[in-house]
Amino acid sequence: MLAAVFTRARTRRRVRSVFPQRTQMWKSVRIASRDWMADERTPAQRPVPYLTREEVERFFRAIPQRNLRDRLLFDLIYRHGLRRGEAAHLTLDDVRGGKIWIARLKRGVPGGYPLHPRSKQLLRAYVRVRPADACDYLFRGRRRTAAPLSGGEINRLFREYATAAQVPESRRHVHVLRHSIGVHLMNAAWDIADVQDWLGHRHISSTMIYAQVTNQRREARYKATLRSREIARTDGR
């Protein structure tokens, strides 16, 4: 019996010496799994950087009320998940009849979308004060030119307001608004195919990243399941 004990001990040592990295890997996986279940990750730690609803509202409070151009610019970027190039190249004809036409970049799917009532209000106020000139772009660049507002200037403005709103440094880039609306729509119980359509994704795999960063819909579905009579009982009654 003593010989058998020594044999088992030698076998365990041999296995650990042959697979030290694999043993360490599984330890790391178990620890990471426990950490994931123990506490919720913060938005900055999640795979897709996004702003919470409260952070987005704080960002918009940092934009002066009188600055109609910037309020409309970032309202459209957030509500429609616009990339900065898509926002920069919007024309006056793209926002008519209560709708917005978006020519998507990165091989995205173009389309027309309804404007939010707040967007319509900002648009009417902005158009009234926007200079009537030869520039066809909604957000004009330098004075006396027909060029649109540049993507670099859009990002600079976002950083300025995000800093004033105390948004974490790692999320002070305008693309975070596109990620934010994707997550917020998923939290609002939109079907993933509808989020795909709203953001102009050609492939639904691009939309899946927003489903992976939020547990809100999963938890809501689970609570609904607890009240359902369709799930079998397991208590033997």
Percentage of the residues of the chain whose pLDDT score is greater than 70: 76
Q: Average pLDDT for residues 105-113, to the nearest whole number?
A: 95
Which residue of the set 71, 79, 83, 84 is catalytic?
Answer: 83
58 a catalytic residue: no
User: Would you say residue 45 has pLDDT above 90?
Assistant: no
Quote the crossing angle between the two packed helices 53-61 and 176-187, to the nearest 10°.
130
pLDDT at residue number 233: 62
CA distance 196 to 99: 18
Of 69, 84, 86, whose CA–CA distance to 153 is shortest? 84
Which residue of the set 46, 69, 99, 159 is catalytic?
Answer: 99
Which residue of the set 69, 159, 175, 217 is catalytic?
Answer: 175
178 a catalytic residue: yes
Q: Where are the domains of the chain?
A: 53-222
201 a catalytic residue: yes
**Which pLDDT tens digit goes with each residue over 72-82?**
999 999 999 99
In this structure, what is the dihedral angle of CA atoms 77, 81, 87, 91, given to the nearest 10 degrees?
A: -100
Lowest pLDDT segment from 47-51, 54-58, 60-64, 121-125 = 47-51
**Which pLDDT tens digit goes with each residue over 120-132?**
999 999 999 998 8
**Which pLDDT tens digit goes with each residue over 159-207?**
999 999 999 999 999 999 999 999 999 988 899 999 999 999 999 999 9
pLDDT at residue number 181: 96
161 a catalytic residue: no
Tell me the fold of 53-222: hpI Integrase; Chain A (1.10.443)
Average pLDDT, the chain: 83
pLDDT at residue number 213: 67
210 a catalytic residue: yes
179 a catalytic residue: no
